[in-house]
């Protein structure tokens, strides 16, 4: 049986955050019910080779936890009718504080969900308000307490640095408060000002200044952002968290298997509005038009069959995000050629610059290479 990862997109949220460019929005209850009905139909209609065994399921969004727990359970039941699950499959639901109850969490556990990803972003009330979050720090603490009481022993907390007006001191305070709770996993991302968001309208000029290396007026400077980044690794490593990917840290044994699958280019199938898939060397995605989706016209743009060159590129610039890097043996197994035959000059150049380390087993980024990873990864475009 081949392992297959499943992504379920739930586009609904209570209110869209000011920085968010994901496919998400608030919706009426009738729309949510119609969406779940169509999602179940899409799963039922999926035709696969039939040799898959589901290794991970990830409910993302949006805010999946805005839905009744029975909707999430119904989706898992529909998947179980199609394919067997691995004995220790990782099943994650993204949640926001303020959308969790003791009853909902109990139902999650009964349905087989064994991992939660809670979107905190900041422990500072002023920063939460600025981001447009629907919750306070105290509401996050209550959601976290309820999750532990329900028996969840694998919890991720999402955090965000380089926010407007944020300082190293407020970022340290957020990290310290979260570390005191001992979650198994912490994702710590730097804010990106995305086009089409309210933040883009407010801070576009400042973001351009930072890119040029000029002084910022509201956003932290590039130097301050980098200092926050290094502070994150320092504090988390002191508490036993290993950085296994550029922005992700975990206690031993708790790296997110689902996300690692993306970076290792394992097969995944997405269901729901705008959900993407990678199956049989082909990328494809669902429509992002809700009316089309609810009418049963799920298909998006034409599938893209990846060339060998495209798969090689992806293997490098996705795999190098992982601390373990890209395995020479796996590269050889996947493409029938040694990595050095394709990237020999690039590897030598980046190693001379102190950006890569090549061992007998793998190539991986150095600390300096991680700092300027965008530059390094671009070098692997053929």
Q: What is the pLDDT of residue 212?
A: 83
- Cβ–Cβ under 8 Å, residues 228 and 162: yes
Query: Per-residue pLDDT averaged across 40-64, rounded?
Result: 93
Q: How many residues does the chain have?
A: 382
Q: Which pLDDT score is estimated for 127?
A: 96
Confidence at residue 216, expressed as pLDDT on a 0 to 100 scale: 87
**C-alpha distance from residue 296 to each of 11, 181, 278 (Å):** 16, 44, 21
- Given a cut of 80, whether residue 138 has pLDDT beyond it is yes
Among the listed residues 145, 141, 125, 143, the one whose alpha carbon sits nearest the alpha carbon of residue 133: 125
Sheet holding 326-327, edge to edge: 326-327, 362-365, 356-358
Nearest CA-CA partner of 133 in 122, 146, 148, 149: 122
What pLDDT digit, counting tens, does each position of 75-133 carry?
999 999 998 999 999 999 999 999 999 999 999 999 999 999 999 999 999 999 999 99
Does position 277 have pLDDT exceeding 90, yes or no? yes
For residue 260, name the pLDDT band (cuts at 50, 70, 90): very high
Domain boundaries, the chain: 2-263, 322-382
Q: Does domain 2-263 have CATH number 3.40.50.2300?
A: no
Q: Does domain 322-382 have CATH number 3.10.180?
A: no
């Amino acid at each position: 049986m081949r392992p297959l990862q499943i992504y379920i997109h739930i586009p609904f949220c209570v209110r869209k955050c000011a920085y968010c460019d994901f496919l998400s929005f608030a919706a009426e209850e009738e729309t949510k019910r119609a969406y779940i009905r169509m999602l179940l139909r899409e799963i039922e209609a999926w035709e696969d080779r039939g040799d898959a065994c589901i290794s991970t399921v990830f409910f993302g969004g949006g805010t999946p936890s805005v839905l009744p727990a029975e909707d999430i359970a119904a989706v898992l039941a529909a998947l179980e009718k199609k394919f067997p699950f691995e004995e220790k499959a990782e099943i994650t639901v993204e949640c926001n504080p303020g959308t969790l109850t003791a009853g909902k969490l109990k139902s999650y556990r009964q349905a087989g969900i064994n991992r939660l990803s809670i979107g905190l972003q900041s422990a500072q009330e002023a920063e939460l308000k600025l981001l447009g979050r629907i919750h306070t720090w105290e509401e996050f603490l209550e959601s976290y307490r309820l999750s532990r009481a329900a028996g969840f022993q694998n919890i991720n907390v999402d955090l965000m640095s380089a926010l407007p007006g944020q300082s190293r001191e407020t970022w340290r305070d957020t990290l310290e408060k979260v570390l005191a709770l001992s979650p198994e996993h912490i994702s710590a991302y730097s804010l990106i000002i995305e086009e089409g968001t309210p933040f883009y309208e407010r801070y576009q000029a400042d973001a351009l200044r930072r890119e040029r290396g000029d002084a910022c007026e509201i956003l932290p400077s590039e130097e301050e952002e980098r200092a926050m980044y290094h502070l994150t690794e320092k504090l988390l490593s002191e508490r036993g968290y290993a950085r296994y990917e550029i922005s992700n840290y975990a206690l031993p044994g708790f790296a997110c298997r689902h996300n690692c699958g993306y970076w290792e280019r394992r097969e995944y199938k997405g269901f729901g509005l705008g959900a993407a898939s990678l199956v049989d060397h082909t990328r494809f995605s669902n429509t992002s038009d809700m009316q089309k989706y609810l009418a049963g016209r799920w298909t998006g743009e034409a599938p893209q069959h990846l060339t060998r060159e495209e798969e090689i590129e992806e293997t490098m610039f996705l795999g190098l995000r992982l601390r373990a890097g890209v395995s020479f043996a796996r590269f050889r197994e996947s493409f029938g050629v040694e990595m050095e035959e394709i990237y020999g000059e690039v590897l030598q150049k980046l190693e001379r610059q102190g950006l890569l380390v090549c061992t007998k087993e793998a190539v991986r980024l150095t600390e300096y290479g991680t700092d300027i990873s965008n530059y390094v990864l671009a070098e692997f475009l053929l």
